[in-house]
Chain A
Amino acid sequence: MTGPSDSGSGDPRHVPDLAGFAHTWARAVAGTSYVPMTHTEIEIHLRGLAQRLADALLAEPFTAVPGHQIGADLAAAGFVAPEALGRTAAVLAGRLLADVGLTGDEAAGRLGALLDAVVTGCVRGIRDRTLDEQEAIRRAALTAREQAEQALRASEVRLRYLALYDQLTGLPNRTLFADRLAALVADAPAHARIGICFIDLDGFTAVNDSLGHRVGDQLLIAVADRLTDLASAGGYLPARLGGDEFALLVTGTTCTDDMVKVADRALSTLRAPVRAGDHDLPISASVGIVERRTGGADPAELMRAADTALHWAKADGKARWTVFDAHRSARDVVRFRLSAAMPAALDRDEFTLVYQPLKDLGDGRIRGFEALARWRHPELGVVFPDRFIALAEDTGLIVKIGLRLLHQACRQAVAWQRGYPQPPFVSVNLAVRQIRHPSLVAEVAAVLDDTGLAPDRLQLEITESAVANDRTDTIDTLAALADLGVRLAIDDFGTGYANLSYLRHLPVHALKLANAFADCLRTPDPTDPTGEAILGTLISLGHTLGLTITAEGIETPSQARRLAEFGCDLGQGWHFGRPASTRRVAQLLTAEHGRPG
Chain B
Amino acid sequence: MQRRPDWVPESVDMERPSAARIYDYLLGGSHNFAADRDVARKAIAAMPDLPVQAQANRAFLRRAVQYVAQAGIRQFLDIGSGIPTLGNVHEVGRRAVDGARVVYVDIDPVAVAHSRALVSADDGVTVIQEDLRRPDRIVDHADLCAVLDLDQPVAVLMVAILHVIPDTDDPFGIVARLRDRLASGSYLVVAHGTDDSRPVEVEELRRLSEKTATPMTLRTHAEVAPFFAGFELVEPGLVWAPQWHPDAADDIGEHPERSSNLVGVGRKP
Q: Which of B29, B59, B247 contacts A133 (CB 8 A)?
A: B29
Q: Among the listed stretches B67-75, B84-92, B171-179, B261-269, which one makes contact with chain A, having 4 or more residues with CB under 8 Å of it?
A: B84-92
A81-B28, A133-B29 are contacts. A141–B7 as well, Cβ < 8 Å? no
- B17 → chain A closest CB, angstroms: 13
Q: List chain A residues, Cβ under 8 A from B52.
A: 31
Q: List chain A residues, Cβ under 8 A from B59.
A: 34
Q: Is the CB of B58 within 8 A of A34?
A: yes
Q: Is the CB of B55 within 8 A of A34?
A: yes
- B209 → chain A closest CB, angstroms: 20
Cβ of B144 within 8 Å of any chain A Cβ, yes or no, is no
Q: Which of A34, A36, A129, A155 contacts B9 (CB 8 A)?
A: A155
Q: List chain B residues, Cβ under 8 A from A34.
A: 27-28, 54-55, 58-59, 86-87
Q: Give a binary string over A58-99; 1 marks a CB under 8 Å from any B CB, 0 the rest.
A: 000000000000000000001011000000000000000000
Cβ of A587 within 8 Å of any chain B Cβ, yes or no, is no
Q: List chain A residues, Cβ under 8 A from B85.
A: 133
Cβ of B2 within 8 Å of any chain A Cβ, yes or no, is no
**Alpha-carbon distance A129/B59, docked complex (angstroms):** 21
**Alpha-carbon distance A381/B33, docked complex (angstroms):** 84
Q: Is the CB of B31 within 8 A of A133?
A: yes
A35-B86, A80-B28, A130-B30 are contacts. A140–B117 as well, Cβ < 8 Å? yes
Q: Smallest CB-CB separation from A143: which chain B residue?
A: B113
Q: Give a binary string over B7-41; 1 marks a CB under 8 Å from any A CB, 0 the rest.
A: 11111101000000100000111111100000000
Q: Is the CB of B247 within 8 A of A39?
A: yes
**Alpha-carbon distance A69/B33, docked complex (angstroms):** 29
Q: Among the listed stretches A145-153, A396-404, A489-497, A506-514, which one makes contact with chain B, having 4 or more residues with CB under 8 Å of it?
A: A145-153
A36-B62, A137-B31, A158-B7 are contacts. A144–B86 as well, Cβ < 8 Å? no
- A81 → chain B closest CB, angstroms: 5
Cβ of A387 within 8 Å of any chain B Cβ, yes or no, is no
Cβ of A205 within 8 Å of any chain B Cβ, yes or no, is no
Q: Give a binary string over A395-414; 1 marks a CB under 8 Å from any B CB, 0 the rest.
A: 00000000000000000000
**Alpha-carbon distance A33/B25, docked complex (angstroms):** 11
**Alpha-carbon distance A78/B86, docked complex (angstroms):** 8
Q: Give a binary string over B89-129; 1 marks a CB under 8 Å from any A CB, 0 the rest.
A: 00110000000000000000111111011000000000000
Cβ of B248 within 8 Å of any chain A Cβ, yes or no, is yes
Cβ of B83 within 8 Å of any chain A Cβ, yes or no, is yes
Cβ of A134 within 8 Å of any chain B Cβ, yes or no, is yes
Q: Is the CB of B62 within 8 A of A134?
A: no
- B143 → chain A closest CB, angstroms: 15
- B25 → chain A closest CB, angstroms: 10
A-B contact count (CB 8 A): 94
Q: Give a binary string over A1-41; 1 marks a CB under 8 Å from any B CB, 0 the rest.
A: 00000000000000000000000000000010111101110
Cβ of A377 within 8 Å of any chain B Cβ, yes or no, is no
**Alpha-carbon distance A80/B55, docked complex (angstroms):** 13
- B259 → chain A closest CB, angstroms: 12
Q: Give a binary string over A283-304; 1 marks a CB under 8 Å from any B CB, 0 the rest.
A: 0000000000000000000000
Q: Which of A78, A80, A141 contacts B113 (CB 8 A)?
A: A141
Q: Is the CB of A39 within 8 A of B109?
A: no
A40-B248, A133-B31 are contacts. A145–B12 as well, Cβ < 8 Å? yes
**Alpha-carbon distance A133/B62, docked complex (angstroms):** 22
Q: Is the CB of A36 within 8 A of B87?
A: yes
Cβ of B251 within 8 Å of any chain A Cβ, yes or no, is yes
- B5 → chain A closest CB, angstroms: 8
Q: List chain B residues, Cβ under 8 A from A144.
A: 12, 109-110, 112-113
Q: Is the CB of B9 within 8 A of A141?
A: no
Q: List chain A residues, Cβ under 8 A from B9.
A: 147-148, 151-152, 155
Q: List chain B residues, Cβ under 8 A from A137.
A: 21, 30-33, 83, 110, 114
Q: List chain B residues, Cβ under 8 A from A80.
A: 28
Q: Is the CB of B14 within 8 A of A141?
A: yes
Cβ of A139 within 8 Å of any chain B Cβ, yes or no, is yes
Q: Which of B31, B55, B86, B87 contacts A136 (CB 8 A)?
A: B31
- A125 → chain B closest CB, angstroms: 13
A40-B247, A133-B29, A148-B11 are contacts. A140–B91 as well, Cβ < 8 Å? no
A36-B62, A134-B30, A137-B30 are contacts. A148–B109 as well, Cβ < 8 Å? yes
Q: Is the CB of A36 within 8 A of B91?
A: yes
Q: Smallest CB-CB separation from A31: which chain B residue?
A: B52
Q: Is the CB of A36 within 8 A of B92?
A: yes
Q: Smallest CB-CB separation from A131: which chain B residue?
A: B30
**Alpha-carbon distance A78/B14, docked complex (angstroms):** 26
Q: List chain A residues, Cβ under 8 A from B62.
A: 36
A40-B247, A137-B21 are contacts. A147–B7 as well, Cβ < 8 Å? no
Q: Is the CB of A155 within 8 A of B7?
A: yes
Q: Is the CB of A139 within 8 A of B248?
A: no
Q: List chain A residues, Cβ under 8 A from B87.
A: 34-36
**Alpha-carbon distance A155/B9, docked complex (angstroms):** 8
Q: Give a binary string over B48-85; 1 marks a CB under 8 Å from any A CB, 0 the rest.
A: 00001011001100100000000000000000000101
**Alpha-carbon distance A139/B118, docked complex (angstroms):** 12
- A45 → chain B closest CB, angstroms: 14
- A136 → chain B closest CB, angstroms: 6
Q: List chain A residues, Cβ under 8 A from B10.
A: 148
Q: Give a binary string over A120-134; 1 marks a CB under 8 Å from any B CB, 0 the rest.
A: 000000000111011
Q: Smallest CB-CB separation from B58: which chain A residue?
A: A34
Q: List chain B residues, Cβ under 8 A from A155.
A: 7-9
**Alpha-carbon distance A155/B7, docked complex (angstroms):** 6
Rank and list the top 6 A-B pairs by shortest CB-CB distance, nearest first. A36-B87, A140-B114, A151-B9, A133-B30, A38-B247, A144-B109
Given contacts A136-B31, A144-B12, 10 further A-B pairs with CB under 8 A are: A31-B52, A34-B54, A35-B87, A39-B248, A134-B30, A137-B31, A141-B14, A143-B113, A144-B113, A148-B12
Chain A residues in contact with chain B, CB under 8 A?
31, 33-36, 38-40, 78, 80-81, 129-131, 133-134, 136-137, 139-141, 143-145, 147-148, 151-152, 154-155, 158
30 intermolecular pairs with C-beta atoms under 8 Å apart: A31-B52, A31-B55, A33-B55, A34-B27, A35-B86, A35-B87, A36-B58, A36-B62, A36-B86, A36-B91, A39-B247, A78-B86, A80-B28, A81-B28, A133-B29, A133-B85, A136-B31, A137-B30, A139-B117, A140-B111, A141-B33, A143-B116, A144-B109, A145-B12, A147-B9, A148-B9, A148-B10, A148-B11, A154-B7, A155-B7
